[in-house]
Amino acid sequence: MEGDIANMGQFIGAGIAGLGTGLAALGVGNVAGNFLAGALRNPSAAAGQTATLFIGIAFAEALGIFSFLVALLLMFAV
Interface residues toward other proteins, by CB under 8 A: 3, 7, 51, 54-55, 57-58, 61-62, 65-66, 68-69, 72-73, 76-78
* 50 vs 33: CA distance, rounded Å: 13
Minimum CB distance to other proteins, residue 33 (Å)? 17
CA angle 52, 57, 65 (to 5 degrees): 145
Minimum CB distance to other proteins, residue 47 (Å)? 11
Minimum CB distance to other proteins, residue 35 (Å)? 15
Q: Closest by alpha carbon to 15, among 76, 70, 77? A: 70
